[in-house]
């Protein structure tokens, strides 16, 4: 083993003409892994943040729908509370919000006034930009930040909400109510809350026709990511007959599948960079073997086992791959941990340049936001996993091993007699 390590080490550092090739191969592996590690952590962080916001503010962990007309949502809330679950009755419908001459179609969420106080998950995912989440009065309303921006409304403003109500015989009549805005909220991801307005549950229960609205119990559990089927069965048993219980995976299956597919596609593209880097290891080893053919022949002629010499070159490629993997993972992890600060710095530089350019030409400019809530979460959470990093290291080292296999096998075919005769 000592001779094997010595020969591999000698291949790496003995000979100034070979050092640039070895360094370039090591650098190629490192540069191939940097984007892979960054994309892995950033995509996982964004998916985690978006998923958690969906769960805590939109889909809940479970939703229960009553398909029997005589079932009471209040009774369902009490039954679930007795089992330790938080159940929030909600009615969703569509309406038109009007502020002066401005109007906007909105998604109306009729929720109980105690929701904000009792739901810790909601408070962690929904920030109050202005005012407070106050639905204590039948005429209080809380709006999303994008609705407030579009209609130019703020806390204390009076707005009109128009909804359509169905009556018997197919008659549909508009109903207009005036509300006072008590708060402006944001999830940090505009695709979630772009059209939301919150009104008291009692108002929605009185106004909305169940045929044109969506009424359900939003249910929160302690851990929404494990034992989902067992929890679903327990909730269904608690509610009894007449209820349909769906998990967040059922409710957002298409969207979460899209997230996973996009992540897998990005990682596959980044993985191609690692494979290309492995080719540089293979080509460097081929050149190394050809350049040291005479030395290989001498080693074989003095009795060094051919397989030992072959394994030495295999280990040379492995060491290059392992060193490049460690360097690339370290750089990628560092960038991932400070990705939010890096984006903020780049955003500052771009806006500084735009401000200077606008000043020189005497015009104005629109500030650039890299992590705009129109498309992304405002801050990406990054939680490195030692196990995943270990898998990346093992995988990259294995690729380097496979890339070194061909040149190492070629060493076995080198004939000392032919090489010495040719050199002689």
What's the pTM? Answer: 0.73
Cβ proximity of 59 and 248 under 8 Å: yes
Give the residue-averaged pLDDT of 266-286: 81
The pLDDT value given to residue 131: 95
- Convert the pLDDT of each residue in 184-231 to its tens digit: 998 877 777 788 999 999 999 988 887 778 999 999 999 888 888 999
Angstrom CA distances, 185 to 11, 75, 130, 144, 388, stand at 63, 30, 7, 5, 36
Q: Which helix (H) or strand (E) holds 353?
A: helix 339-361
For the chain, give the longest Cα–Cα distance.
107
Share of the chain above pLDDT 90, in %: 34
151 CB contacts (<8 Å, ≥6 apart)?
97, 99, 102, 103, 104, 159
Q: For the residues 355-364, what does the mean pLDDT come to? A: 77
Q: What is the mean pLDDT of residues 33-38?
A: 90
pLDDT score recorded for residue 422: 65
* DSSP assignments along 265-284, one per residue: HHHHHHHHHHHHHHHHHHHH
**Which of 121-135, 269-283, 394-408: highest mean pLDDT?**
121-135
Beta bridge partners of 97: 104, 161
Q: Is the pLDDT of residue 1 over 70?
A: no
Residue 299 to residue 296: CA distance in whole angstroms: 5
How many angstroms from the chain centroid is the CA of residue 76?
34
Q: Please say if the pLDDT value at position 287 is more than 90.
A: no
Sign of CA dihedral 67, 70, 76, 82: negative
Per-residue pLDDT, averaged over 80-93, amounts to 94
Mean per-residue pLDDT over the chain, rounded: 84
Question: What residues have CB less than 8 Å from 109, skipping those under 6 apart?
Answer: 90, 91, 92, 196, 197, 198, 199
Q: Locate 348 and state its tokens.
A: 């500052």
Token code pair at residue 294: 């005479």
pLDDT of the residue at 349: 87
What is the rounded CA–CA span in Å between residue 63 and residue 285?
Answer: 59
- In the chain, where are the structural domains located? 2-48+256-423, 86-220
pLDDT at residue 279 greater than cutoff 90: no
Between 380 and 290, the more confident residue is 380
d(CA 196, CA 53): 14
The stretch 25-35 carries a mean pLDDT of 86
Residue 90 confidence class, pLDDT cut points 50, 70, 90: very high
pLDDT in tens, 221-274: 998 888 889 999 999 999 988 899 999 988 888 878 887 888 888 888 888 888
80 in helix, strand or coil?
helix
397 contacts 318 by C-beta, under 8 angstroms: yes
Task: Report pLDDT for 423.
Answer: 58
Size of the chain in residues: 424
* pLDDT number for residue 375: 54
More confident residue, 58 or 297: 58
């Amino acid at each position: 083993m000592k001779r094997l390590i010595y020969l591999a080490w000698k291949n790496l550092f003995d000979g100034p003409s070979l050092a640039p090739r070895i360094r370039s191969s090591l650098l190629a592996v490192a540069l191939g892994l940097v984007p892979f590690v960054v994309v892995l952590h950033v995509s996982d962080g964004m998916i985690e943040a978006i998923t958690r916001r969906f769960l805590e503010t939109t889909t809940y962990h479970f939703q229960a729908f009553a398909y029997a007309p005589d079932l009471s949502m209040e009774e369902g809330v009490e039954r679930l509370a007795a089992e330790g679950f938080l159940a929030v009755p909600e009615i969703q419908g569509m309406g038109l919000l009007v502020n002066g001459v401005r109007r906007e179609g909105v998604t109306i969420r009729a929720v109980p006034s105690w929701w904000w106080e009792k739901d810790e998950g909601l408070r962690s995912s929904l920030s109050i930009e202005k005012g407070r989440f106050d639905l204590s009065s039948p005429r209080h309303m809380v709006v999303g930040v994008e609705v407030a921006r579009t209609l130019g409304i703020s806390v204390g403003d009076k707005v009109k909400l128009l909804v359509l109500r169905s009556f018997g015989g197919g008659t549909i009549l508009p109903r207009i109510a005036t509300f006072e805005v008590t708060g402006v909220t944001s999830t940090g991801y505009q695709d979630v809350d772009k059209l939301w307005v919150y009104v008291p549950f009692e108002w929605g229960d009185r106004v909305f026709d169940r045929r044109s609205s969506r009424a359900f119990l939003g249910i929160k559990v302690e851990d929404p990511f494990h034992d989902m089927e067992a929890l679903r069965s327990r909730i269904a048993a608690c509610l009894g007959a007449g209820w349909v219980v769906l998990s967040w995976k059922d409710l957002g299956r298409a969207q979460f599948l899209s997230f996973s597919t996009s992540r897998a596609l990005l990682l596959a593209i980044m993985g191609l960079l690692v494979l290309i880097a492995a080719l540089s290891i293979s080509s460097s080893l081929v050149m190394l073997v050809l350049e040291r053919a005479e030395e290989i022949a001498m080693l074989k002629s003095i009795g060094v086992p051919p397989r030992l010499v072959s394994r030495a070159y295999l280990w040379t490629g492995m060491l290059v791959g392992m060193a490049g993997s460690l360097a690339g993972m370290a750089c990628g992890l560092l960038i991932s941990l400070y990705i939010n600060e890096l984006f903020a710095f780049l955003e500052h530089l771009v806006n500084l340049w735009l401000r200077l350019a606008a000043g020189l030409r005497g015009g104005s400019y629109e500030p650039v936001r890299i992590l705009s809530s129109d498309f992304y979460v405002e801050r990406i959470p990054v939680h490195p996993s030692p196990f995943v990093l270990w898998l990346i290291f093992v995988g990259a080292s294995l690729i380097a091993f496979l890339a070194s296999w061909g040149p190492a096998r070629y060493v076995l075919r080198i004939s000392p007699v032919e090489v010495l005769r040719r050199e002689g």
